[in-house]
Amino acid sequence: MNRLPDEYILPIADIFQNIVNWLVDEWRPVFQTLRWPIAQVLDAVSDLMNSLPFWLVILFFLIVGWRTAGIRNGVFCGVSFVLIAFMGLWDEAMDSLSILITAVTFCVVVGVPIGILAGRSNKFWAVLRPVLDVMQTTPSFVYLVPVVMLFGIGTVPGVIATIVFSMPPVIRLTNLGLRQVPAEAIEAGESFGATEWQALINIRLPLALPSIMTGVNQTLLMAMVMSVIISMIGAEGLGLSVLRGIGALDVGQAGIGGLAIVLLAISLDRITQGLGEKSKQAHHELKPRSLLGRFRAARTGASDSPASMQ
């Protein structure tokens, strides 16, 4: 075996152990405090999702999918949720959805401001960038160890792991979006006497929105991946049914769990992608478009393309 003698092995494992032990001993109140808001939001979302009748949820996703990503995606979302219901995985799917909604909400609430700071300050970005690199290259399993040590096991620590794992894309793409705002738009704002804040609200953020929405989409997909893995630390949801299926060598249960995850992931991906597209196209068409107008446009195939208005 090509292995150094034991006396040459550096005690890095011990160092990690000591650091985590020290964190657990000394910083426990801090981590418990961090846990609190996440637990609150998760409970609220989860209560809501589980109290809604399933036909209402299906109708909701059908309409949201249709309005954001077109009628075909709307139907796809609706059918997906119907399938999930008929596979007997409704409760697990709602648990997964609650985890995702909570995790993505926190990622956006924390990640977008961090991305804005990064986009406005080269120094901050220089510090942040290697951190994000490490976060994104760290395998998802590895997150579980410190999370279990610091927060324990269960759904809430799972959500925390998901948040940490899936935050980098929204930070990166917010930063990118802000840096790609055309210089002349910024200059125009400046020349009309915009304050830094006014420029952010009126110019930078709206113009960076398509990029930010792409970031939210990517973050959601990362969270989707993680929400399955966190079943190993006892988080509820579709991942748990896959894990149980594997554990019991029950290919059928693992299979439908996997299928439900895929359906859920594609539905949410389409919806968030649709939102991103919308933010890109918002200014290409006449804004207030009635429901009837949409139908009419779809039927005649007429569109408000810029060229036809010259």
Partner 1 sequence: MLAVSEVSLKVREGEIFTIMGLSGSGKSTLVRCLNRLIEPTNGSILLDGEDICLKSSQELRDIRRTKIAMVFQNFALLPHKSILENVEFGLKLRGEVKESRREKAGMALERVGLSNWSDRYPDNLSGGMKQRVGLARALANDPDILLMDEPFSALDPLIRADLQAELIKLQCDIKKTIIFITHDFHEAVKLSDQVAVMRDGKFVQMGTPEEIILHPGNEYVENFSREMDRSKVITAKDVAQTGATPLYADMAADSVLKRMKKTGKQFAILVDSDKKPLGYIFRGDLENSTELEMKVGADFQRQDEEVISVSSSTIVGNLYFQLSQQLPLAISDDKGHVVGTMDANDVMTHLSQAGQYTNIRNSAHAFSTDGQISGESHLTINCFDKVVSS
Residues making contact with partner 1 (CB under 8 A): 182, 184-185, 187-195, 198, 202-203, 206-207, 209, 282-287, 304, 306, 309-310
160/203 with CB nearer partner 1: 203
For residue 20, count CB atoms less than 10 angstroms from its CB and return exposed for 0-12, middle for 13-18, buried for 19 or more: middle
- 155 Cβ contact partners less than 8 Å away, ≥ 6 residues apart: 42, 95, 99, 234, 235, 236, 237
Least Å distance between CB 309 and partner 1?
5
Least Å distance between CB 299 and partner 1?
22
Question: Which residue is it, tokens 């940490």?
Answer: 164
Least Å distance between CB 202 and partner 1?
7
Least Å distance between CB 183 and partner 1?
9
Distance CA 163, CA 140 (A): 12
47/187 with CB nearer partner 1: 187
Least Å distance between CB 153 and partner 1?
45
Least Å distance between CB 82 and partner 1?
37
Distance CA 12, CA 23 (A): 16
Name the region of 288 (left: φ>0; alpha: ψ -120 to 50; beta: rest): beta
8/192 with CB nearer partner 1: 192
Angle at the Cα of 171 (from 159 to 121), degrees rounded to 5?
140
Distance CA 37, CA 21 (A): 24
Question: What sign does the CA torsion over 71, 74, 78, 79 have?
Answer: positive
193/252 with CB nearer partner 1: 193
28/284 with CB nearer partner 1: 284
51/191 with CB nearer partner 1: 191
